[in-house]
């Protein structure tokens, strides 16, 4: 079974609607900007330091840590 990427609950709550709009992960800076523009500031801050985790989670899925 493929393990989902665990993220803080507040980040998870913002990543889920963000990912409905993201179709690929090649332009990572664009994804961060999209998060900021939509007010997903916790997700944007997390994304800045977790590019590899995000790309894995984009493929495998995310789940909240708590």
Give the pLDDT confidence of 5-51 residue by residue, as tens digits: 999 999 999 999 999 988 887 899 999 999 999 999 999 999 999 99
What's the pLDDT score for residue 26? 81
What's the pLDDT score for residue 28? 93
Say how far apart CA 54 and CA 61 lie, in whole Å: 9
What's the pLDDT score for residue 44? 98
CB 58, CB 19: distance < 8 Å: yes
What's the pLDDT score for residue 2? 86
pTM of the entire predicted model: 0.90
pLDDT band at 1 (very low <50, low <70, confident <90, very high): confident
């Amino acid at each position: 079974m493929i393990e989902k990427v665990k993220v803080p609950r507040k980040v998870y709550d913002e990543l889920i609607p963000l990912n409905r709009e993201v179709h690929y992960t090649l332009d990572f800076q664009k994804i961060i900007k999209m998060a900021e523009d939509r007010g997903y500031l916790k997700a944007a801050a997390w994304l800045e330091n977790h590019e590899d985790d995000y790309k894995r989670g984009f493929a495998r899925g995310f789940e909240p840590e708590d």
